[in-house]
A and B are shown apart, each in its own frame.
Chain A
Amino acid sequence: MIKVSGLHKHFGANHVLKGIDLEVPQGAVYCIIGPSGSGKSTLLRCMNLLERPDKGHVFIDGKDITAAGHDVDLLRTEAGMVFQRFNLFPHMTVLGNVTLAPVKVRKIPKKDAEKQAYEVLRRVGLEEKALAYPRQLSGGQQQRVAIARALVMKPKLFLFDEPTSALDPELVGEVLDVMKDMAKEGATMVVVTHEMQFAGEVADEVVFMDEGAIVEMGPPGVMFSRPENPRTKAFLDRIL
């Protein structure tokens, strides 16, 4: 589904990604863990070209999206992204947030877009909030709207960057539940997270990143109980 090969990224003199290779098959859920500053967000952002890699390639369904000559705006719709800080558009209603891209990017008639918006809002359990503004919602509800906003575009895969890190503990569950449902329904997901329980339950593979490189990856059972690399072990000891 998505394949990253030989990816490098610098910010000035800061070498943030040092040759990342990763392949996520269709329908798989990959959780990326690792210390702060290890390049997790940067990797995710390279996967939908919010950040331009300096070297290496990203393939979605075999198509090299890092190659020149593509319509980058259109390519970004292949991957739906959910951010730590929700980033809902505060001047639009929930419905406006969810229909914006279908109408403006996919050029779907407004009526149809709204119908689809209500469908995805129902999936995240927020149909009745369609006409509310983001500031009238709790953090957990806002993040579920953000997920609906990504869902409605029917992307080939979903990128989550610490989707629950900005939430009060009691609101984390409702967001993770929505993500679990998505996983069950076969969505391809790459999730940067500190929620080890979620990773243990849902992930097919857990990827440990440190200092711009993938140190180790494997099924959660293996990674959490007997990691091979001492850095993985040290990290997991600290947070588990």
Chain B
Amino acid sequence: MNYSLLLQHYDLLLIGAELTVVMTVGSVTLGVILGTVLGLMRLSAYRPVRWLAGLYLQIFRGTPMLLQICFLYFALPQIFGPTIWSNPFLPDAALAGIVALGLNSGAYIAEIIRSGIQGVDVGQTEAARALGLSHFQTMELVVMPQAFRRVIPPLCNEFIVLLKDTSLVSAIGAKELMYQARAMGAKYYEYFVFMVGAAIVYFCLTFVLTRVSGYIERRLAVSD
């Protein structure tokens, strides 16, 4: 096993790691926005709205992530044209991956948001409504700020899960960390070395995230 190859090519792993981080941040952002909307829809007073969100959750949690990624990257262009993923910022596959991961995590984050909101005492809503606040004001000023504290820890966890799941996007050729490791491994027929190298980088990234989320949780606990 030739570990010096790692030293020689570590820059490629870091370039891959950079795309991994970009894709994680992109998909988390999309997932949080989408998940918030879906989570609120799940709590809507209107049955069709709840149903629609429920259907979305069923679909995205009931099919493999890898299938969703491939569907967006290979299947959608057959309907909407081969250039739908073209953009000036990112490789096509990376963008498709971000959107796929974002859509998928949105379904999971929706449940985090829903249970976070439902965990806020109904007395809070009643007190706010009794004071004359509208439904929207009650959500914005009373329920959401309290739900926020409750959802931060599970959201941090989702962040970590997503970071690891970006490796699936290597299947459609996004040159992130996993892709780089496989490509280098194949090139030198030294899979072991490059897989260990990628594992170390993934581990470092998740380790930092775990530490940051632990810190945030402790801060929230103190101010409670």
Q: Which residues of A contact B (CB under 8 A)?
A: 48, 50, 73-74, 76-77, 79-81, 83, 85, 87-91, 100-101, 104-105, 135, 146, 149-150, 153
Contact = CB atoms under 8 A, between A and B. Distances in A.
Contacts of A105: 131-133, 137
Interface stretch (B138-146, B152-160, B169-177, B183-191): B138-146
Contacts of A79: 130
Interface in B80-138: 121, 123-124, 126-134, 137
Given A50-B126, A89-B124, A101 B142 contact: no
Contact of A76 (B131, B142, B145): B131
Which DSSP category, helix, strand, loop or mixed, fits chain B's interface? Answer: helix
A73 B121 contact: no
Contacts of B128: 89
Contacts of B145: 91
Contact of B123 (A76, A87, A91): A87
B149 to A, nearest CB: 8
Interface of B: 121, 123-124, 126-134, 137, 141-142, 145-146, 224
A77 B131 contact: yes
A4 B182 CA distance: 76
B126 A83 contact: yes
Contacts of A135: 224
Contact of B132 (A76, A85, A87, A89): A76
A90 B149 CA distance: 12
Nearest to A88: B127
A85 B123 contact: yes
A74 B146 CA distance: 25
